[in-house]
Amino acid sequence: MAMAAQIDTLLPLSAVAPSNNQRLFLRYFTAILIDLVVLNLFVEYSGKVFIESFTISLLAAILLQVLLKLTIVVEHWVADFFNARSGAVMKFSRFFFAWLVLFGSKFVILEALTVVFGSSVRFEGAFHGMVTLIVVVVTMLVAEEAIVRLYRKLN
């Protein structure tokens, strides 16, 4: 009986549901790790992404995750603004400005990476590396979505 009690203390408390803060932490922690993996795969295999060290790639992954989430917040704010109004012009404006925020944010992200990391993080290629950055960001988002879908299927 004492042996069973000792084993139980080593196991996680799976009967206790995680809090919303714990879920949020795990979501962003996982997303940052996914972004880190994607970034470093591009560094290793693309020839167009250069990051000076693993530590800098970790910090870049964190910054990218923060900036991508801020972009989504702004895009939703813009969408809500135009969705609250009726008419064809408002519907067109909703899609146009959402696209503008999503596309324009990549310039902000590239500039933020340059300001924070200087030449330690570089994206090269067409349009001063903008196309490469967009490919990396889209790959990050697809990888995050794939992991989320896999996780939900495990239920």
Task: Output the pTM of the full model.
Answer: 0.79
What is the pLDDT averaged over residues 62-77?
92
Say if residues 126 and 69 touch (Cβ distance below 8 Å). no
CA 82/CA 71 separation, integer angstroms? 17
Q: What is the pLDDT of residue 121?
A: 94
* pLDDT tens per residue across span 88-130: 888 888 888 888 888 888 888 888 999 999 999 999 998 888 8
pLDDT at 16: 74
